[in-house]
């Protein structure tokens, strides 16, 4: 399947261009050429995912559940369930519920499941995905073992892994990963230290054996085109879909996103290197300020000999326990965790997933259409 606009392209024809400065193709021809070019650019990603557009939904805990995932897949993209800390029985129910929604929407479309590699029941969760014939399993939250990758593949599913550096990308390919996602520090949630553009320049020219999808800070079609032309098979977007009509996030959570700018999405602050903090990008709120103060108190107690380093570290790590759910589900935007990527500034209104996908594709096509295409013959 290929992406096309609902209306039919114009049938007008002009003579072949002798010189790009003499005559440009009419708008209809330019748009038709651009749509064809876009479909060529992400053909590998579409084939790998089995979708109309090579856009994966980023797996966001409490957000990427059955409704948003089904809407993404029905709109021609690739929805990905966020298993997070789910036990096997709950994941099984969520997969089945997603399938039911897709059936209600007119038939089965492909979707995947994102599993955290540190989950104590990872093998069982993989088996749940395989038993439900999930086509793609994404292993995230750490470098997956070769055994986990093999378990996914031997069960008949495709395995997608996150690669934070070129050396690890090559290692994952050798371990059997069927595709990679490279995610820059502009992304929301847990992040690495390197920007999306630098990762793309580091990895895309060197990794050709498997499709590579780019993520982190992508919110418009122009950006999608740039990464596709660098060699990406497709892209992954999370923040852009938080304010989708189908997303179950609390209205308060969505309102914060609609008001936020890119500069509001900041990495979690760390007070003392002796107590490392896993960087998480989120919108700054009172909870962020309380977290900084709490770290200071832990450091002071440690220096006073009241607690050891391990105890202090555990207190810091437990600070945000349940905070994301409080924000997303209960609407606590003051002390909850407002995980968001820097593309949050590009989220300006609530709209259906299908409209977001259409908008991204239109922006990509318009970007390509503004360029002079190769000589055409008619």
Averaged pLDDT for residues 200-224: 98
Looking at every residue in the chain, the average pLDDT score rounds to: 91
Task: Provide the pLDDT confidence category of residue 6 given band limits of 50, 70 and 90.
Answer: very low
DSSP 147-197: HHHHHHHHTT-EEEEE-SSHHHHHHHHHTT-SEEEEE-TTSSEE--SS-HH
Instruction: Report the pLDDT value the prediction gives residue 20, as an integer from 0 to 100.
Output: 34
Across the beta sheet with 280-283, what order do the strands follow? 189-190, 280-283, 265-267
Interval 87-96: pLDDT, tens: 999 999 999 9
DSSP state of 140: E
User: What pLDDT sits at residue 151?
Assistant: 98
Report the C-alpha gap between 55 and 65 in whole angstroms.
17
Q: Which residues pair with 282 in a beta bridge?
A: 266, 339
Q: What percent of the chain has pLDDT over 70?
A: 91
Most confidently predicted of 12-16, 108-112, 228-232:
228-232
Residue pair 43/222 in contact by the 8 Å Cβ criterion: no
Residue 4, pLDDT score: 62
Q: Select from 354, 351, 262 the least CA-distant residue to 55.
A: 354
What value does the mean pLDDT take over residues 249-267?
Answer: 97
- List, as one string, the DSSP characters of 47-79: HHHTSSS-EEEP--TTTSSHHHHHHHHHTTSBE
CATH class of 27-237+348-369: alpha beta
Compute the distance between CA of residue 246 and CA of residue 351 in angstroms, rounded to an integer: 9
Alpha-carbon distance of 267 to 125, in angstroms, equals 30
Handedness of CA 316, 283, 137, 247 (dihedral sign): positive
What average pLDDT does the segment 207-229 reach? 98
Mean pLDDT across the stretch 258-266? 97
Question: Using CA atoms, how far apart are residues 342 and 281, in angstroms rounded to an integer?
Answer: 8
| pLDDT of amino acid 375 | 55
- pLDDT for the residue 318: 87
Label residue 377 by pLDDT band (50, 70, 90): very low
Per-residue pLDDT of 137-194, as tens digits, reads 999 998 999 999 999 999 999 999 999 999 999 999 999 999 999 999 999 999 999 9
Q: How far is CA 6 from the centre of its chain?
A: 26
Domain coordinates of the chain in residue numbers? Answer: 27-237+348-369, 251-344
For residue range 290-348, what is the model confidence (pLDDT) as tens digits?
Answer: 999 999 999 999 999 999 999 999 999 888 889 999 999 999 999 999 999 999 999 99
Q: Give the strands of the sheet with 158-162, arranged side by side.
A: 55-57, 234-237, 212-215, 179-183, 158-162, 136-140, 111-116, 79-82
């Amino acid at each position: 399947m290929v992406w096309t606009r609902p209306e039919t392209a114009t049938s007008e024809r002009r003579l072949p261009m002798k010189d790009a400065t003499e005559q440009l193709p009419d708008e209809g021809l330019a748009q038709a050429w651009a749509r064809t070019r876009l479909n060529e650019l992400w053909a590998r990603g579409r084939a790998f995912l089995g979708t109309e557009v090579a856009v994966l939904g980023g797996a966001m805990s409490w957000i990427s559940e059955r409704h948003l995932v089904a809407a993404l897949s029905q709109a021609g993209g690739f929805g990905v369930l966020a298993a997070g800390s789910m036990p096997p029985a709950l994941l099984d129910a969520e997969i089945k519920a997603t399938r039911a929604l897709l059936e209600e929407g007119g038939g089965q479309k492909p979707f995947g499941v994102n599993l955290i590699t540190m989950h104590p029941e990872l093998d069982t969760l993989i088996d749940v995905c395989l038993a439900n014939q999930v086509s793609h399993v994404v292993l995230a939250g750490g470098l997956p073992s070769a055994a986990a990758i093999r378990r996914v593949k031997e069960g008949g599913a495709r395995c997608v892994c996150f690669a934070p550096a070129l050396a690890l990308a090559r290692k994952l390919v050798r371990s059997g990963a069927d595709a990679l996602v490279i995610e820059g520090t502009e992304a929301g949630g847990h992040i690495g230290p390197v920007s999306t553009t630098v990762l793309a320049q580091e990895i895309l020219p060197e990794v050709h054996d498997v499709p590579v999808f780019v993520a982190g800070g992508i919110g418009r079609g122009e950006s999608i085109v740039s990464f596709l032309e660098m060699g990406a098979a497709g892209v992954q977007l999370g923040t852009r879909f938080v304010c989708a009509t189908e997303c179950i996030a609390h209205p308060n959570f969505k309102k914060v996103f609609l008001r936020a700018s890119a500069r509001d999405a900041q990495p979690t602050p760390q007070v003392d290197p002796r107590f490392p903090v896993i960087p998480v990008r989120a919108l700054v709120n009172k909870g962020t300020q309380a977290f900084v103060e709490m770290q200071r108190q832990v450091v002071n107690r440690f220096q006073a000999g009241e607690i050891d380093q391990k105890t202090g570290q555990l207190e810091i790590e437990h600070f945000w326990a349940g905070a994301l759910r409080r924000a997303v589900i209960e609407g606590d935007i003051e002390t909850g965790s407002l995980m968001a990527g820097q593309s949050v500034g590009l989220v300006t209104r609530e709209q259906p997933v299908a409209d977001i996908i259409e908008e991204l594709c239109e922006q990509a096509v318009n970007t390509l259409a503004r360029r002079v295409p190769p000589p055409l013959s008619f």
